[in-house]
Structure 1
Amino acid sequence: MTGEVGLPSPPFPHDRAERYVREQLWKREPLGDVIRLALARRPGHLALVTTEVRWTHRELDERSTAFAAGLLAMTTLRPGDRMMFQLGNVAETVVAYYGVVKAGIIPVCTLPQHGAHEIGRLAEHTAARGHIVQADFRNRDLVELGTRLGEAVPILDTLIVARGAAPPGALSFDDILDAGSQPDARARLRSLEIDPDGIVAFQLSGGTTGLPKVAPRRHAEYAYNSQVWAEALELDENAVVLHPLPIMHNAGIAAALQPAHLVGGTFVLPSGADAGPMLELIARERVTTMPVVPPAVAIRILRHPAARTTDLTSLTRFVLGGQRPSADLLERLESELGIPTQQMFGMAEGMFLFTPPSSPEWVRRGTVGTPISPADEVRVLNVGFETEVPDGELGELACRGPYTIPGYHRAAAHNAAAFTTDGFYRTGDLVTRHVVDGRDFYSIDGRIKDVINRGAEKIHAEEVEELIARHPVVHGAALVAMPDPVLGERICAYVVPGVGAETLTLDAVNAFLLEQGLAKFKLPERLEIVDAFPLTNVGKVSKKALRADIEGKIEKENAPL
């Protein structure tokens, strides 16, 4: 198997890895084999529903196996190589993801919304050789982007185009499927040896600086993550799971797609998060479970005119995550729509918390719950130290366990600060532990990290600030979150202008950012021009003062006349 490039992704400590195997938490087989065996158990049962396809477990297994075999037959990609993903919520994404996993190729779980800036730097950081794009993704020419990046990033030498024509030098998704149906291609696939302790996927984290840190997920722990989450939600072969957000997010894969198929159930993939089509799918497919629904999506459902006339009685698990929902939202979903709600907290780095339905109401309303695995370990630390605070006091959430990464990929300096000396991941989230009947529950009370959570999409402030600061008439920039009743937070840019900045507008700043290759969902939604930034007592920009300033302005603007 190809070795890891540059500084390695830290492995799990030997003693912990042995314990997880001994306790039968980790299986000694690659994730691709786990998926293949799960799909083989109920071959005729419905596996995948989109607006375009209805495939059985057998059909999904066959297509993803063909894609795996075709990749090895038509490209020079081999197990351990990396592939950037820029596909939306379409059936080809599921086929490609399962296919690369079966082939031992590592998906880098980027999004179609990412721009050249993000894709190029992440490709270099992960040493990605492959890039798969969706030709008909809305309002974006991803084929042109892929072609341009292939010329700019020498190592990115394999471009695959789904749902459209492939330009010269690129490969067609359909041609790869055809090649993978040949007997010699299947034989080559069957002869593969894939290390179950190796990396199976690179997920992007909600890091604090620059581009997102890359979280290396490994075969055994990623399978366990989905398995124990399925057990927490009591999923079985009758489960019909719908996920409304981008499928290549960790939440889409580890909390929705894989759990549905590992239990023999059905996965429903809407093309987007519009409330109307989602309500139709819930009723038509008798959806039982919607994991990781951001409050913004829940609000859209609640407000949609058809919500009160749509049959939602099949829903038994409606799990809100991504950002903290209000108690009023939870109450209205239950009282007005009859939807039973739960909360959860998850991260690309691993740890999942959830509120069991049997929990007291105040726990379901006011906390994000308890760890899903008995092997999960949680500490609440004094900020900046490794000592724990007493129960009931605020501290930083730190965790480790059988599916929480022991370190980021090629980030030794960051790992030294992000993990304790005994391997607990410092999440940057401020929490309080509540002990109820001998069980620990955690409420999220803020965060240390400088990340804006816009409708469950994490925007790293420093990345955007650095790009704005490149503008020729900008002296400095600071990004902060401003409150929003639907998305939770939106992006406000404070800018200190330089000479010639008389015409500096939000549109001008955003046009410049797009030229720099930034993704549209990271663009500021409000611009505030200031002569200087407020500073802390140690001379740093006071984000706290800026957040208070924009909150005050919004409150004043919304005040009744």
Structure 2
Amino acid sequence: MDEFDGVGGSDGVGGSDGVGGSDGVSLSSVFDRRVRTSPRAPAVRDVGGEPVSWGELGDRVTALAADLAARGVRPATVVSWQLPTSVEAIVLLLALCRLGATQNPLLPVYGDRELDFILRQARPALLIVDGADPARTAAARRVAAAVARDGAPIDVLAWGKDSPARGGPLAPPTGVAGRWYFYTSGTTSVPKGVVHADRAVLAAGRTLVERLGLRPDDRYGAVFPLCHVGGPAWQVAAMLVGFETLCVARFTDEAISALQDFDVTIAGAGPPFFLAYLAAQRALPAGRRLFPSVRAFPGGGTGRPPDLDARMVAAFGAGIVPTYGLTEAPIVCMGRLGDSPAQRATTEGIAAPTARLRVTAADGGAAPAGSDGEIQLRGDHLMLGYLDPELTAAAMTPDGWLRTGDLGRLDAAGYLTVTGRIKDVIIRNMENVSAVEVEQVLATHPGVTDVSVIGLPDGRTGERVCAVIVPAAADAPPSLADLTGWCARAGLMKQKWPEQVELVDELPRNPVGKVAKAQLRERYLPGADTAAAAPR
């Protein structure tokens, strides 16, 4: 079978609680319902801060919505904002939802180049930046002024420094469905502007609730950036269920300690975070558990070590619940709490309740079950399109499916395994080598802490396999011979063995944890002709 959807199933969640399929509601109406239902229950807190109840959060959202409305924000007004994950950022997000504005959350790492591109494309009326960062504020004003010279002015508000205009009492509209402009994290080129309606963010949040069996007594650690599409999805889950969120602005050792003090039960959000939790656990005295109440580690990120789930279970008594999605279709696929160890270790789960997946062969036809092909998506999670209509036309099939550019396979039960990127295939001697497959083998070597595999030009074979590794011991890193021997013992065909090894202290990653392979290729291209070669 080549196509699966998550609709129907005895474990689906639906009905009047609003957790089921798309029903046309807005994020604002979901939030208002939670405020009415649980006004005294804790909703959110910052690291080192006091809990804010749902009722208090509602009051703050209402007050800020009035201030923003007095500043001119109306339904469909485009507002760009670039803030770290915090209670205040959540208040802003929800206030904009209440006004029906079009939100454009920006990753905090975006610099002048990305900001200039986004402001010219999104054309916001208001840009909100972190006033606690003078350099960022000055850069935002400079870029906004340059963009405004070619178009309409952009009002810049330094959050925490400039106070929004104080308006009078206001009953902002509720139930107004908002729109979102999310930008891809962009590891290879300028980011792409993705247009979503509330529907997609709600669908992603509902998937989290259904697959994790989320409960009001859960405590979620928000280490994932709020300004990424997964951030609002987790806020939807919190509003639907009523659990408390700890906002982590920067993921540091202190943040891990804060998660421990919070007694987190749901700890995300991908392999780099999980590896950090394991390191923190090893540093504790024997018999003491870092997260004694944790029951799941949800997180995306393909190419994770196949033994990572088993290591998490051994250390914490809880395993990984994998997720798969894109900025264009968030959390479109996810595992279940009851999945087998093999399913948790090697797949990304099954289609979300209102999503559909299919895998297509190179000729566009259906790939048989278990065969690799391009992963394509559709359903409630899917974007409305890109801000650039030419990108939309190129990304969509004639029958309305999104071409993800990811390679994968579906098994007979509908579980998805991601095997690489169409553009991340190394072509060596006219044979395709999946970088992800090689990474998964090398990641199990005891001398390897982290690894990324890239293709580099080779005059004889076209491309050669280069492994960039973070060694477990800097003074005794594994050699090329060590790694090729490991690949041989793992049964990896010789054509896929690494032919060049580079050592780094850490891999460059984008804000959501994906390795920036373009940076690695650029770094090692100049020395490609002098690299050591493995036996062929």
Q: TM-score range by the shorter chain?
A: 0.7 to 0.9
Distance 2:60 2:467 in 1: 45
Partner of 2:274: 298
Equivalent residue number for residue 121 of structure 1: 117
The 5-angstrom pairing of residues 177-256 of structure 1 reads 179=166, 182-183=168-169, 186-187=170-171, 189-190=172-173, 194=176, 196=177, 199-205=178-184, 210-254=189-233, 256=234
What residue identity is the alignment partner of 1:230? V
Aligned to 2:394: 417
Contact kept, 8 Å, 1:242 with 1:289, in 2: the verdict is: yes
| Paired residues of 1:200 and 1:218 also in contact (CA < 8 A) | yes
Q: Which deviates the most, 45-54 or 331-340?
A: 331-340
**Cα deviation, residue 222, structure 1:** 2.2
- Does residue 65 of structure 2 align to residue 65 of structure 1? no
Deviations 1:188-247 (A, max 9, x none): x24x783x3xx5211123568632222211123322321232121111211211121222
CA distance in 2 between counterparts of 1:372 and 1:219 reads 17
In structure 1, C-alpha distance between the alignment counterparts of 2:534 and 2:307, rounded to whole Å? 20
Match of 1:132 in 2: 128
Q: Is residue 420 of structure 2 the alignment partner of residue 440 of structure 1? A: no
Which letter maps to 2:272?
A
C-alpha displacement of 1:399: 0.8
Asked if residue 387 in structure 1 is aligned to residue 365 in structure 2, the reply is yes
Equivalent in the alignment of 2:9: none
Question: What CA distance in whole angstroms lies between the structure 1 residues aligned with 2:294 and 2:408?
Answer: 30
CA distance in 2 between counterparts of 1:120 and 1:345 reads 30
The residue number in structure 2 matching 1:33 is: 29
Which secondary structure does the structure 1 equivalent of 2:400 belong to?
Answer: coil
Alpha carbons of 1:522 and 1:63: their partners in 2 closer, same or farther (altered >3 Å)?
farther
Q: Closer, same or farther in 2 for the Cα pair 1:449/1:33, shift >3 Å?
A: farther
Q: Deviations over 1:107-160 (max 9, x none)?
A: 2121121111111111111121211111224xx612101211231111352111
Which of 322, 329, 333 lines up with 1:353 in the alignment?
333
User: How far 1:405 moved relative to its partner?
Assistant: 1.8
Note the C-alpha offset of 1:307.
8.2
Question: Are the counterparts in 2 of residues 39 and 264 from structure 1 also a CA contact under 8 Å?
Answer: no
Pair 522,115 (structure 1): closer, same or farther in 2 beyond 3 Å: farther
Show the 5 A alignment for 1:281-320.
281-291=258-268, 293-304=269-280, 305-306=283-284, 309-320=288-299
Q: Which amino acid aligns with 1:34?
A: V
| Contact persistence 2:376–2:403 (CA under 8 A) | yes
Instruction: Name the CA distance, whole Å, in 2 between partners of 1:219 and 1:372.
Output: 17
1:49 aligned residue? 45
CA shift at 1:370, angstroms? 0.5
How far, CA to CA, are the matches of 1:34 and 1:114 in structure 2?
A: 31
Contact 2:126 2:156 in 1 (8 A): yes
Alpha-carbon distance in 2 for matches of 1:486, 1:55: 43
Distance 1:245 1:553 in 2: 38
Q: What displacement does 1:77 show?
A: 2.8
Match of 1:468 in 2: none
| CA 1:37–1:417: 2 relative to 1, 3 Å | same
Supply the AA of the counterpart residue of 1:123. L
The answer to which of 303-312 and 148-157 deviates more is 303-312
Letter in 2 for 1:118: E
Do the aligned partners of residues 132 and 481 (structure 1) sit closer, same or farther apart at CA in structure 2, a change above 3 Å counting?
Answer: farther
Distance 1:259 1:281 in 2: 22
Instruction: Name which of 144, 147, 156 aligns with 1:153.
Output: 147
User: How many Å apart are 1:70 and its aligned residue?
Assistant: 0.6
Partner of 2:379: 401
1:393 alignment partner AA:
S
Structure 1, gaps ≥5 residues long: 1-19, 167-171, 454-460, 462-479, 488-520, 532-545, 557-561
Shift of 1:286: 2.3
Q: 1:222 to 1:336 in 2, by over 3 A?
A: closer
Q: Encode CA deviations 1:441-498: one digit per residue, 9 max, x unaligned.
A: 0111000246999xxxxxxx9xxxxxxxxxxxxxxxxxx99634599xxxxxxxxxxx
Distance 1:486 1:40 in 2: 52
- Residues 486 and 523 of structure 1: CA distance in aligned 2, closer, same or farther (over 3 Å): farther
SS of alignment partner, residue 415 of structure 2 = strand
Aligned residue pairs, count: 433
- Once the two structures are superposed, residues 231-287 of structure 1 have per-residue CA deviations (whole angstroms, 9 ceiling, x without a partner) of 211112112111212221112221x22211221111111222224432x33332222
Q: 1:336: how far off?
A: 2.6
- Aligned-partner residue type, residue 441 of structure 1: Y
Instruction: From 88, 92, 114, give the equivalent of 1:96.
Output: 92
Contact 2:107–2:227 (CA<8 Å) still a contact in 1? yes
Contact 2:346 2:417 in 1 (8 A): yes
Q: How does 1:352-371 map to 2 (within 5 A)?
A: 352-371=332-351
Aligned to 2:107: 111
2:226 and 2:181 map into 1 onto residues whose CA distance is: 14
Preserved contact between residue 195 and residue 384 of structure 2 (Cα < 8 Å): no
User: What SS class does the counterpart of residue 52 from structure 2 fall into?
Assistant: strand
User: Aligned partners of 1:284 and 1:298: how far apart in 2?
Assistant: 18
Q: Deviation of residue 314 (structure 1)?
A: 1.0
Question: 1:354 is aligned with what amino acid?
Answer: M
CA 376–117 in structure 1, closer or farther in 2 if over 3 Å, else same: same
What amino acid sits opposite 1:416 in the alignment?
A
Letter of the aligned partner of 2:136 in structure 1? L
Equivalent AA in structure 2 for residue 303 of structure 1: A
1:426 aligns with 2:438: no
Counterparts of 2:395 and 2:468, CA distance in 1: 28
2: CA distance, partners of 1:364 / 1:264: 27
Structure 2 residue corresponding to 1:483, chosen from 462, 465, 468? 468
Change (3 A) 1:158 1:372: same
Instruction: Judge conservation of contact 2:371–2:410 (CA < 8 Å) in 1.
Output: yes
Contact 2:310-2:319 at 8 Å conserved across structures: no
